[in-house]
């Protein structure tokens, strides 16, 4: 099994409520091994997050994961906005650290426009991390928009 949460759900048809999950023999062993791999990936991810030195490093990595997509270009301003931070200087040390630690790659298009990507090639665990973050994490920007929406309704 590839290290993908979505592949795991598809393989065992967990999201399909018309099919019952039947685990016997080899299927049961495969299921256990696959879920064990996912949990180990998550453990590795959280270990990596815990060792990111700059205070905002984990949040920056989460923002890049949240914004990453097949047809999306992520730049530093997108990350800043996602984290609801007013100045880029506040996250610049974290971005530099993440690049040095090879958690992200930065492609410099122009002097001021840089494309940021998760480095899933060197860190395959980041694939599962991205899937989890995109599905479950609410960014500070999303939380602020939700709070604004609620205040306008109330």
pLDDT digits (tens, 9 = 90+) for 103-136: 999 999 898 899 999 999 999 989 989 988 998 8
Task: Report whether pLDDT(54) > 70.
Answer: no
Q: Which domain holds residue 43?
A: 5-138
18 located within any domain: yes
What is the pLDDT, as a whole number, of residue 138? 86
148 located within any domain: no
What is the pLDDT, as a whole number, of residue 50? 65
Strand ranges in the chain using DSSP code E only, listed in sequence order: 104-108, 114-118
Relative orientation angle of helices 125-136 and 25-50, to the nearest 10 degrees: 80
Can you say whether residue 87 is alpha, beta or left, with left for phi > 0 and alpha for psi between -120 and 50 degrees? Answer: beta
Looking at the 3D structure of the chain, how many domains does it have?
Answer: 1
Between 2-6, 16-20, 26-30, 141-145, the lowest mean confidence (pLDDT) is in: 2-6
Q: 97 vs 70, which has greater pLDDT?
A: 97
Q: Tell me which residue of 81, 61, 64, 100 sits closest to 141, measured CA to CA.
A: 81
Q: What is the CATH number of the domain that holds 64?
A: 1.10.10.10
Q: 23 vs 49, which has greater pLDDT?
A: 23
154 located within any domain: no
Percent of the chain with pLDDT over 70: 94
What is the pLDDT, as a whole number, of residue 51? 67
The pLDDT-based confidence of 74 (bands split at 50, 70, 90) is very high
The structure's pTM equals 0.74
């Amino acid at each position: 099994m590839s290290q993908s949460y979505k592949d795991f759900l598809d393989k065992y048809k967990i999201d399909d409520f018309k099919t019952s999950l039947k685990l016997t023999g080899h299927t049961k062993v495969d299921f256990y091994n696959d879920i064990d791999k996912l949990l180990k990936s998550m453990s590795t991810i959280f270990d990596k997050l815990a060792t990111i030195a700059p205070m905002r490093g984990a949040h920056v990595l989460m923002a890049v994961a949240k914004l990453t997509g097949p047809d999306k270009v992520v730049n530093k301003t997108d990350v800043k906005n996602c984290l609801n931070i007013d100045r880029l200087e506040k996250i610049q040390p974290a971005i530099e650290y993440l690049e040095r630690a090879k958690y992200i790659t930065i492609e410099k298009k122009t002097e001021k426009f840089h494309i940021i990507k998760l480095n899933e090639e060197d860190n395959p665990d980041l694939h599962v991390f991205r899937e989890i973050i995109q599905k479950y994490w609410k960014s500070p920007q999303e939380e602020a928009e939700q709070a604004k929406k609620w205040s306008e309704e109330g």
